[in-house]
Amino acid sequence: MGDQMTVTALADIIRTQAEILETSLPRHAYTDYHGDKSLSIARSKLLEACDKLNHLVTGPIECTSQQIPGLLTDMIPTKGTPDVMGIAQGHRVHAALQYVCHFRLASFVPADGTPITYEDLARAAGVDTSQCTRVLQLLMTYHIFREPGTRIVAHNRNSRVLLDEDTGAAVEWLTQESLRSSAFFTETRAMSRRWSTGTAGAGSNDIVAPATIQGVMSSAQHQTALDLANTGVGQSTVGFFAQQRMNTETSMKAERYARAMAGMAKRRQLSAEHLVSGYDWAALPFGSTVVDVGGGNGHCSKAIASCNPSLNFIVQDSNTALAEEVDVEELGDRLKFMAYDFFKPQTVAGDVYLLRRILHHYSDQDAVRILQAQLCGARKKPEARIVVMDNIAIHSGTLSTLEERKTRTLDIAMMALFNSVERNLDGWKELFKMADPKLQLIKVTKPLGSALAVMELQLDQT
């Protein structure tokens, strides 16, 4: 769907696709298409057309061509999302959400949809009534909370998701740490460029740092925007996770991060159900052991184990506190937790080493170290597989703009948080080759509705 389409042509697409969804699915359940590909396609066509329509009607900026001569005609044909100024102000909305999460406003609004006055809500949350009202009224324009009468507020479908502890933690983390890291995004890039010693990417104005600050410089070059936002120049460059073990505040952040990850995983596109369907677990020999590396609270292993009674699972993670979270009692001895640092040589001789949502957090250099550590285990059994479930970045223009936007957003998040990257298939192949030239990618599957692909790897024994 190009930018050349007319408003009415887009409206026609919207009508056709909307009718397909409305006649096939219950109201408000347009994501519940249960593996029906045609409904999934109808939904994505509908959303794509809405986005294009919005873009076309809004234009690049909310002003008239008289105010800025030539601007509208120059800019409408370019690819992009509507209203540049609007996008540039997105952080105001994030600030409002941050406020709501910090003061737990959602928890004081009755969950059953009955309203509460702004005054009562503010009193319960211990905040200023006027501030709280202004914050909520902005969010209402984004369909988060509703105002069913004068000076009262109630939950709607969107605001209610904040009541879920994990989802609430995800929104809080995104609007706090993650938002802060975004604010330092360009500064971090500029800093590492300025302090480069004149090699790749350095410009003629680059400063060669004096020897006295070499230590700070080399650590600063590896700093992420998140490090800079949290600790300042040259401080704590050992990475987000390690940094979180430093004190009470950071351990609280670590807990919130873990919860936030669980919250993100609750989105359908990241559901563990795609891992269950995306790999032929039933084909593994009876009694096989799946090693869930960086498996967190074991929710993925639990989902696979429930459908594959002949398999055993070892969930490894550096944060063993996560093991407390998920009830795995019904699986008995089939699922065990183990403290493990995935940069250290793997000691368990498993049949499958599962790395789900691990490698995309790391630069190529560190991701190679993680893979090589797992190969120490994989070499113990000739048939052992490594299964990587992660995002595969798409080539520009191959999917809808909305799908591409998700991948590109994640890519920037990875750069800001971890100095890492969302890899396309060639990038993944290159990474595997760097880990070991004998490590072969034997299968790639992308389950319907999943944001992540399943990549199966095996060491070539010849």
Ligand X SMILES: C[S@@+](CC[C@H](N)C(=O)[O-])C[C@H]1O[C@@H](n2cnc3c(N)ncnc32)[C@H](O)[C@@H]1O
- Residues at the contact surface with ligand X, assessed by CB under 6 A: 241, 261, 265, 294-296, 300, 317-319, 322, 340-343, 356-358
Cβ of residue 316: shortest distance to ligand X, in angstroms? 6
401: Cα within 13 Å, side-chain hemisphere: 16
Cβ of residue 240: shortest distance to ligand X, in angstroms? 9
| CA dihedral sign, ordered 285, 289, 294, 300 | positive
In terms of CB distance, is 83 or 341 closer to ligand X? 341
In terms of CB distance, is 30 or 241 closer to ligand X? 241
CA–CA separation, 344 vs 253, rounded Å? 25
In terms of CB distance, is 357 or 423 closer to ligand X? 357
Cβ of residue 292: shortest distance to ligand X, in angstroms? 7
Cβ of residue 367: shortest distance to ligand X, in angstroms? 12
Residue 92 identity: R
Cβ of residue 104: shortest distance to ligand X, in angstroms? 25
Residue 214 identity: Q
β-partners of residue 453 are 390
CA–CA separation, 348 vs 380, rounded Å? 9
Cβ of residue 409: shortest distance to ligand X, in angstroms? 16
In terms of CB distance, is 118 or 353 closer to ligand X? 353
In terms of CB distance, is 48 or 292 closer to ligand X? 292
Helix (H) or strand (E) holding 444: strand 439-445
In terms of CB distance, is 10 or 300 closer to ligand X? 300
CA–CA separation, 185 vs 180, rounded Å? 9
| CA 261-280-443 angle, 5° bins | 85
How far CA 156 is from CA of 109, 130, 147, in Å, comes to 10, 21, 10
In terms of CB distance, is 358 or 368 closer to ligand X? 358
Work out the burial of residue 37: count CB atoms within 10 Å of its CB; fewer than 13 is exposed, 13-18 middle, 19 or more buried: exposed
Long-range CB contacts for residues 30-36, cutoff 8 Å, separation at least 24? 31/268, 33/449, 35/448, 35/449
Cβ of residue 173: shortest distance to ligand X, in angstroms? 12
Work out the burial of residue 401: count CB atoms within 10 Å of its CB; fewer than 13 is exposed, 13-18 middle, 19 or more buried: middle
CA–CA separation, 165 vs 169, rounded Å? 6
In terms of CB distance, is 261 or 457 closer to ligand X? 261
Q: What is the maximum alpha-carbon separation in the chain?
A: 75
Cβ of residue 322: shortest distance to ligand X, in angstroms? 6
How far CA 214 is from CA of 73, 210, 219, 228, 311, in Å, comes to 51, 7, 9, 18, 51
CA–CA separation, 152 vs 148, rounded Å? 7
CA–CA separation, 163 vs 389, rounded Å? 29
Tokens describing residue 198: 């004149």
CA-wise closest residue to 364 among 293, 417, 420: 420
Cβ of residue 391: shortest distance to ligand X, in angstroms? 12
Cβ of residue 357: shortest distance to ligand X, in angstroms? 4
Tokens describing residue 271: 């559901």
